[in-house]
A and B are shown apart, each in its own frame.
Chain A
Amino acid sequence: MTVDGVPNVRVCVEPVREGATVRAQNVLGSLDRDLLNVVDRIGGPFTPVGFYYRTMLRPRRLWPQYERVLRNLAGLGCLDKSGRRSGRYDVEHRRADVLVIGGGEAGVAAARAAAENSVGSVVLVDERAAPHIDGVETLAPARAIGFYEGGLVPVDAGNVLYRFRAGKVVVATGTVEQPLLFPGNDLVGVLLPQAVRRLVDDWALKPGDRGVIVSADGAGLDVVEQLRRAGVEIVEVVDLRESLPSTLAANGRRGRLESVTIEGRELACDLLVMSGGRQPAYSLLAQAGARVEYDARRGIFVPVDLPANVEAAGSVTETEPAAAPPPPSFDGGDAKGRCFVCICEDVTEKDVKRALAEGFDSLELAKRYTTVTMGPCQGRLCHLPSIRLYARETGSDEGAIGTTTARPPWAPVSLGLLAGRGLEPAKRTAIHHRHVELGATMMWTGAWRRPHSYGDAAGEARHVHEALGLIDVSTLGKLLVEGPDAAAFLELLYPNRFADMKVGRVRYGVLGSDAGRIMDDGTIGRIADDRFYVTTTSTGADTVIEWFDWWNAVWGMDVEVVNLTGALAAVNVAGPRSRELLGRLTDVDVSNEGIAYLDTKEAHVAGVPCLILRIGFVGELGYELHFASPYGEYLWDTLLERGKDLGIRPFGLEPQRILRLEKMHIIVGQDTDSESNVLEAGMPWIAKLDKDDFVGKWALEHVQARGFREQLVGFEMANGVVPAEGGQIVLDGRSAGRVTSARMSPHLGKAIGMAWVRPQLAVEDARIEIKVDGRLEAARVRLKPFFDPKGERLRA
């Protein structure tokens, strides 16, 4: 049944809630006029097992239509595609000294004994209501959905998934009554004894008027007592241990039982209680590592050799012989009903025989082909019957065939529960709310929220060239590398040279792996002989600090790496008027001699202790200010206020991307990929191959020796069309590279970009063509920055 839109709900164990919407599943309309019956009737040969693997694969475009109908036919229920997360799911990690699974007699006894012996915390899990026991925490309704590696037992308690680790797990999952296989065994009115017990004992319902009972064990026959109490007339009782009828079939009309035929005698009835004996519910034990063995005498599979710290209690390891194995299936004579092996997946005896005839003679393969045991019941009702059937049809025996592997989940579990709470962590800078107040369009960069622009990306970019801009760069990774070995450590990590760097200077560095591949880039400033301030890309901070710590663990050098990313905020004041603004706010000499290009200096700016780095990612005179993040809004406000007459304007990430592209400054991960190295990326001056060693040295030497395969270059479009990032570079009709970045530069009035091209094209002014919307557009290769190629603006 479908309850509140959730398909495959077993309504016999689902408590009624006020306002719940309950709908029949697997039928169209009501059972009386089930339209799917038509397919069943005309469709005996039309819907054989595995038919969709063969019949409906072609034409492929029709598969979605087929699938829609098939899912309905297969009775799998359907999901509301426009549905959204409706509940909140949580995960809780729990420990217990004893975890008892199953609240039947044996489970309760085990829990009570554990509590009485004061072994510590005792938890009892049951899928129905469990009784209160002193000293025992009861989780009900809840289901242990599996037994995983490391003794992990996840328990589905509705909206909470408890991940239990217990000192001892007691499995008291009992047994599951098995259905008999005969034609018509899916009719309404055919029940297992357990259903009768619940209907009569728990709910005081009369399950029918005239009942027939066919059972392979005494427990099944015992329901005669319940039926009498409920006022059901007992028509016939067949004890399969004493007599085995040669034919057995149920007959019905419109899906409901009307009579049972036993050896040619037709008995009118509306209730047939059947049982093929009880199979221990061993799945959790098997998942825990127990072996499952066939007991030929009783005709069931039993768990043996339990692993340490796992115990079984009650009938799950029942030893008393109580049943005679029933035949795998009954001949129905000339009965018309279908004989179901697997009710969930609608697999009949005929389907299983067909699968065998097609050569699926291994149980594991046949399971996948027929989907027997793969439905919501997870084999509780069909695993044993299907093995019995296989044994008979292949002339083998159950012991030789064995069982299929028991895998979690043992019980159906909702995906929402496994997914847990919907978490989308967002990192915000200390200045975040100012951007929102200024009307910025926010965007994701990794986990960070950053301003894309404040409404006019092109204007903001132009303004940095012409006057003064301010950007929040607090998202940069910020590391302090400190200790006597700090310089030596960085020398080994980066291809750059740092040993010769003077205190107060900054260098651009590119971090690589031993395979020579670019991992990240950033600036490294020397604050003191033994102290360096390292910035990383916004999304690379975590990777870089892990990388630093790892190599430090390997080398064991005398150096400490401290992550200051969250502790510090940072802004970049950029543009020709940035010096004038900085000069108003600090006492230090901000002249070109006082703070030269690539200098770093500690100073107070507007009273805030800052580290000033004069660098130029955006290509204009500019200063990065790094400072304690609590001052974020204060310093941002002060810079905007004091720079008002200079025309200061905040700019976002998009204008920054335009500006850096004009300078051909790469963005790692945008212009580089997992194969890129600094040499081919056009930055050979970074790699000091004369150093004794650094991470990636040998690989770069190898690239040098083998020659370049492709190179990162700039390009300028002939007619101002901006190609898509990822667009193809075409040479003589063949692919010769790919575009990594492309923008219209409002300042230059040109469409510009960067691309990886074949080395012969990495020549100034080389003609290339780029595919744009299916057409080829002409472009010229550029090797020098589009804007200020000599860097005069940066050094001004």
Chain B
Amino acid sequence: MSFLLPCPNCGPRDVDEFAYAGETTERPQGTPSPRELASYIHFRRNAAGVQREWWYHRFGCELWFLAERDTRTNEVLKTELPSTDAAGSPTPHEPATPDTPAV
């Protein structure tokens, strides 16, 4: 990997500066069944195409952000901060749901 990734804070930087934290997942609501729990913890869509994923600017500004990246070409379509519309709410809102269909 040697592509450039645009950090929402710092702009395009060498991908080596970032930590990859995988595709976004949906944390279950309420009490999940063992199957739902296993699927949340262990199973990933592993898309061959555009996926929404977490990145951390570890050797930079230490920001967590979301990227949409084509896993086949490493083309980064966009990066953004996670939405903060629920800021201040004591009930957790869910991490960004994968909303881009796998190609």
User: Footprint of B on A, CB under 8 Å?
Assistant: 93, 148-150, 152, 163, 165, 484-485, 488, 492, 514-515, 546, 549-550, 553-558, 693, 698-699, 701-702
Top 10 nearest A-B pairs (CB, nearest first) are A150-B3, A553-B64, A152-B2, A555-B92, A554-B95, A148-B2, A556-B84, A556-B87, A558-B88, A149-B2
Q: Which residues of B are found within 8 Å of A558, using beta-carbon distances?
A: 87-88
Whether B9 sits at the interface, judged by CB under 8 Å, is: no
Task: Assess the B88–A150 pair: CB atoms within 8 A.
Answer: no
Q: Which residues of B are found within 8 Å of A163, using beta-carbon distances?
A: 14
User: Residue-by-residue, is B5-31 near A (CB-CB < 8 Å gives 1, otherwise 0)?
Assistant: 000000000110001010000011001
Task: Assess the B19–A546 pair: CB atoms within 8 A.
Answer: yes
Task: Assess the B92–A514 pair: CB atoms within 8 A.
Answer: no
A495 to chain B minimum Cβ distance, whole angstroms, is: 16
Return the contact of B27 from the options A484, A514, A553 (Cβ within 8 A).
A514
Given A550-B54, A556-B84, A557-B90, 10 new contacts (CB under 8 A): A150-B2, A546-B58, A553-B65, A554-B93, A554-B94, A555-B93, A556-B82, A556-B89, A557-B87, A558-B88
B80 to chain A minimum Cβ distance, whole angstroms, is: 11
- How many angstroms from the CA of A691 to the CA of B30 in the assembled complex? 12
Task: Assess the A546–B56 pair: CB atoms within 8 A.
Answer: yes
**Closest partner residue, chain B, to A484 (CB atom):** B88
Task: Assess the B41–A550 pair: CB atoms within 8 A.
Answer: no
- How many angstroms from the CA of A702 to the CA of B42 in the assembled complex? 15
Task: Assess the A699–B74 pair: CB atoms within 8 A.
Answer: no
- How many angstroms from the CA of A550 to the CA of B62 in the assembled complex? 10
Given contacts A546-B19, A693-B92, contact A556 B86 (CB under 8 A): yes
Task: Assess the B3–A702 pair: CB atoms within 8 A.
Answer: no
Q: Which residues of B are found within 8 Å of A515, using beta-carbon distances?
A: 41
- How many angstroms from the CA of A152 to the CA of B15 in the assembled complex? 12
- How many angstroms from the CA of A708 to the CA of B27 in the assembled complex? 25
A165 to chain B minimum Cβ distance, whole angstroms, is: 7
Task: Assess the B83–A556 pair: CB atoms within 8 A.
Answer: yes
- How many angstroms from the CA of A537 to the CA of B74 in the assembled complex? 36
- How many angstroms from the CA of A148 to the CA of B85 in the assembled complex? 39
**Closest partner residue, chain B, to A698 (CB atom):** B37
Task: Assess the B34–A702 pair: CB atoms within 8 A.
Answer: yes
**Closest partner residue, chain A, to B88 (CB atom):** A558
Q: Which residues of A are found within 8 Å of B90, using beta-carbon distances?
A: 485, 488, 557
Task: Assess the A699–B37 pair: CB atoms within 8 A.
Answer: yes
B97 to chain A minimum Cβ distance, whole angstroms, is: 12
A558 to chain B minimum Cβ distance, whole angstroms, is: 5
Task: Assess the B74–A149 pair: CB atoms within 8 A.
Answer: yes
Q: Which residues of A are found within 8 Å of B103, using beta-carbon distances?
A: none
Q: Which residues of B are found within 8 Å of A702, using beta-carbon distances?
A: 34, 37
Whether B60 sits at the interface, judged by CB under 8 Å, is: no
Q: Which residues of B are found within 8 Å of A514, using beta-carbon distances?
A: 27, 40-41
Q: Which residues of B are found within 8 Å of A149, using beta-carbon distances?
A: 1-3, 74
Task: Assess the B93–A556 pair: CB atoms within 8 A.
Answer: yes
**Closest partner residue, chain B, to A706 (CB atom):** B34
- How many angstroms from the CA of A488 to the CA of B90 in the assembled complex? 7
- How many angstroms from the CA of A657 to the CA of B94 in the assembled complex? 41
Whether B4 sits at the interface, judged by CB under 8 Å, is: yes
Return the contact of B28 from the options A492, A556, A698 (Cβ within 8 A).
A698
Q: Which residues of B are found within 8 Å of A93, using beta-carbon distances?
A: 14
Interface residues of B in 55-103 (CB under 8 A from A): 56, 58, 62, 64-65, 74, 81-90, 92-95
Q: Which residues of A are found within 8 Å of B41, using beta-carbon distances?
A: 514-515, 699
Task: Assess the A550–B21 pair: CB atoms within 8 A.
Answer: yes
Q: Which residues of B are found within 8 Å of A556, using beta-carbon distances?
A: 82-89, 93
Q: Which residues of A are found within 8 Å of B40, using beta-carbon distances?
A: 514
Q: Which residues of A are found within 8 Å of B27, using beta-carbon distances?
A: 514, 554
Task: Assess the A549–B62 pair: CB atoms within 8 A.
Answer: yes
- Interface size range on B against A: 35 or more
User: Footprint of A on B, CB under 8 Å?
Assistant: 1-4, 14-15, 19, 21, 27-28, 31-32, 34, 37, 40-41, 54, 56, 58, 62, 64-65, 74, 81-90, 92-95
B83 to chain A minimum Cβ distance, whole angstroms, is: 7
A471 to chain B minimum Cβ distance, whole angstroms, is: 30
B21 to chain A minimum Cβ distance, whole angstroms, is: 7
**Closest partner residue, chain B, to A551 (CB atom):** B92
Can you show 18 pairs from A to B with CB atoms below 8 A apart?
A148-B2, A149-B1, A149-B74, A150-B3, A163-B14, A488-B90, A514-B27, A514-B40, A550-B21, A553-B65, A555-B86, A556-B84, A556-B85, A556-B93, A557-B88, A693-B92, A698-B32, A702-B34
Given contacts A149-B2, A698-B31, A699-B41, contact A549 B64 (CB under 8 A): yes
Task: Assess the B88–A485 pair: CB atoms within 8 A.
Answer: yes
Q: Which residues of B are found within 8 Å of A698, using beta-carbon distances?
A: 28, 31-32, 37
Q: Which residues of A are found within 8 Å of B58, using beta-carbon distances?
A: 546
Task: Assess the A550–B64 pair: CB atoms within 8 A.
Answer: yes
- How many angstroms from the CA of A488 to the CA of B86 in the assembled complex? 14
Task: Assess the A554–B88 pair: CB atoms within 8 A.
Answer: no
Task: Assess the A554–B3 pair: CB atoms within 8 A.
Answer: no
- How many angstroms from the CA of A550 to the CA of B81 in the assembled complex? 12
Q: Which among B21, B83, B89 has the greatest number of chain A C-beta atoms within 10 A?
A: B89
Task: Assess the B62–A150 pair: CB atoms within 8 A.
Answer: no
Q: Which residues of A are found within 8 Å of B84, using beta-carbon distances?
A: 556
A538 to chain B minimum Cβ distance, whole angstroms, is: 19
A145 to chain B minimum Cβ distance, whole angstroms, is: 13
**Closest partner residue, chain A, to B58 (CB atom):** A546
**Closest partner residue, chain B, to A515 (CB atom):** B41
- How many angstroms from the CA of A515 to the CA of B56 in the assembled complex? 21
Task: Assess the B37–A553 pair: CB atoms within 8 A.
Answer: no
Q: Which residues of B are found within 8 Å of A546, using beta-carbon distances?
A: 19, 56, 58
B43 to chain A minimum Cβ distance, whole angstroms, is: 12
- How many angstroms from the CA of A698 to the CA of B32 in the assembled complex? 7
- How many angstroms from the CA of A693 to the CA of B90 in the assembled complex? 12
Q: Which residues of B are found within 8 Å of A553, using beta-carbon distances?
A: 64-65, 81-82
- How many angstroms from the CA of A85 to the CA of B15 in the assembled complex? 28
**Closest partner residue, chain B, to A93 (CB atom):** B14
- How many angstroms from the CA of A165 to the CA of B32 in the assembled complex? 48
**Closest partner residue, chain A, to B95 (CB atom):** A554
**Closest partner residue, chain A, to B83 (CB atom):** A556
**Closest partner residue, chain B, to A491 (CB atom):** B90
**Closest partner residue, chain B, to A483 (CB atom):** B88
Q: Which residues of A are found within 8 Å of B4, using beta-carbon distances?
A: 150, 165
Q: Which residues of B are found within 8 Å of A485, using beta-carbon distances?
A: 88, 90
B31 to chain A minimum Cβ distance, whole angstroms, is: 7
B70 to chain A minimum Cβ distance, whole angstroms, is: 12
Given contacts A492-B92, A698-B28, contact A550 B56 (CB under 8 A): yes
- How many angstroms from the CA of A549 to the CA of B62 in the assembled complex? 9
Q: Which among B2, B15, B21, B93 has the greatest number of chain A C-beta atoms within 10 A?
A: B2
**Closest partner residue, chain A, to B66 (CB atom):** A553
Q: Which residues of A are found within 8 Å of B83, using beta-carbon distances?
A: 556
Q: Which residues of A are found within 8 Å of B37, using beta-carbon distances?
A: 698-699, 702
- How many angstroms from the CA of A693 to the CA of B92 in the assembled complex? 10
- How many angstroms from the CA of A515 to the CA of B31 in the assembled complex? 14
B14 to chain A minimum Cβ distance, whole angstroms, is: 7
**Closest partner residue, chain B, to A513 (CB atom):** B41
- How many angstroms from the CA of A149 to the CA of B21 in the assembled complex? 21
